[in-house]
Structures are given as structure tokens and as C-alpha cells.
Amino acid sequence: AQSVTQPDIHITVSEGASLELRCNYSYGATPYLFWYVQSPGQGLQLLLKYFSGDTLVQGIKGFEAEFKRSQSSFNLRKPSVHWSDAAEYFCAVGGPYNNNDMRFGAGTRLTVKP
Amino acid sequence: DAGVTQSPTHLIKTRGQQVTLRCSPKSGHDTVSWYQQALGQGPQFIFQYYEEEERQRGNFPDRFSGHQFPNYSSELNVNALLLGDSALYLCASSLATGYQETQYFGPGTRLLVL
């Protein structure tokens, strides 16, 4: 069965510093991978997705993620964090056909220090 | 272009009661999925509706039921509420193409069961 592990429950970075959030997945076939962000009291906003093709995916708000099949990872990165990036980040994995088997990780909470 | 909307935003119920949550999908979308997000956890898939039928269901008891209307809007019903049903309930919509498509999430309904 598919699953997602986000090893870091909470990460704190200084504003302007680089960021990497880790995501490891388990999926029996070609995974479809997503990163979502959730601000306090809000729903989920899609940052980026990987379906196929180039393994380095660009998203909104300056985020990017790299799919590494050999490591079963899909880590999220940003070169310079802004205070407004403080939020909860969720990695999710699904299959190639429809949305019915999407699984989310437990999330990583990002705190940004001034 | 309106995104996914959910009502109500907050709800307080007591154990044993029943609750109905509502969702209107993003314009042009025909598929609605429901997720439960407990505090400190990632969203968990409850079920998905397409063409007014439940297409797929996660590991949730029959107390959780739903409906989709001809205009693609959807309801989530929970009977015999338990304290453990307290959570943020998220609705997501997408367009059924047969393949994995991006889901767009609403802001959620926060349910508190006392």
C-alpha cells in the first residue's frame, strides 16, 4: 500500500536561509507526487506536482522539488525563505488513475525566524 | 472563477448527534473528494463522488456517508458522532479525465464534538 513519510515534524529556519523539506514515499508503481501548503485555519494550496518527465519540478512561490526514484524521495526546496512561508507543508502520493488513492504525510511545520 | 467553497466554517455538536457538511466544487469540476484532517495529522481520504455515486471509499465506518447532486455539489453526513470525529473536514474537487488530476481544496469545516 502506498504511504508517505515526512521525517521532520517541525523545522525552524531564518528568513533568507535556504529550505529543504523531506518526503519519502512508498508506492508500487509510478507515483504521482504533490506538495501542498496549509496556513493556519486554511485549506490546502497546491505548490507543485510531479506526474512524469523532468524530475526537477518548479512550483509557485519560488518552490521546487526533485523526484529521485532511486531514493523514493520528493524533497521540497526553496533557496531563500520569506516570513510568509511559515505554514504546514504536506507531501502526498497518488496513482496514475483518478484521485481515489491519494495518501498524505503527517506534515512538516515550518517556522521562520526573523 | 470561484474556487472550492465549504459550509459551515465551524460547527459544534454533541456525541450521538448527526451533522451535514456541504461543498461546492470549483467551476468546471465534476468530482468531489472528502478528507478528514485530525489535529496534527495529514488529511485522510474518506470517499470520492463522481456522477452522483460513491466511486471510492477510504477506511471509514458507515457512519460516514455522502451525496453528490446533479450540479456536482456534495454533502458529507456523519451519524452518531463520536468525540474522535472532531477534525477539520476538507473537500477537494477535480475534473474526471480517467487520469490523476490535481485536486483543489476548500478551506474546510472545523467540527468539534463535545
C-alpha cell at B80: 452518531
Res A45: pLDDT: 92
Each residue's pLDDT, cut to its tens digit, for chain A (114 residues) gives 789 999 999 999 999 999 999 999 998 777 899 999 999 878 899 999 998 888 999 999 999 999 999 999 999 999 999 999 999 999 999 877 765 578 999 999 999 999
Mean pLDDT score across all residues of chain B: 93
Q: How far A63 CA sits from the closest chain B CA (Å)? A: 17
Chain A contact present for B111, CB below 8 A: no
List all residues of chain B from 59 to 78 with a beta carbon under 8 Å from chain A. none
* Cβ separation B103–A99 shorter than 8 A: yes
Domains and CATH numbers, chain A: 3-113 (2.60.40.10)
Torsion of CA A39, A45, A48, A51, to 10 degrees: 140
Chain B contact present for A84, CB below 8 A: no
C-alpha cell at B64: 460516514
Give per-residue pLDDT as tens, B1-27.
Answer: 679 999 999 999 999 999 999 999 999
Q: Where are the domains of chain B?
A: 5-113
Chain A contact present for B56, CB below 8 A: yes
Q: Are B44 and B91 in contact (CB under 8 A)?
A: no
Q: Which residues of A touch B53 (CB under 8 A)?
A: none
Taking the CA atoms of chain A, what radius of gyration do you get in angstroms? 13
Average the pLDDT over B89-112 and give the result. 89
List all residues of chain A from 17 to 76 with a beta carbon under 8 Å from chain B. 32, 34, 36, 41-46, 49, 51
The Cα A31–Cα A27 span in angstroms is 6
* Closest C-alpha to B35, from B46, B24, B49, B25: B46
Q: Are A4 and A24 in contact (CB under 8 A)?
A: yes
Q: Which fold has domain B5-113?
A: Immunoglobulin-like (2.60.40)
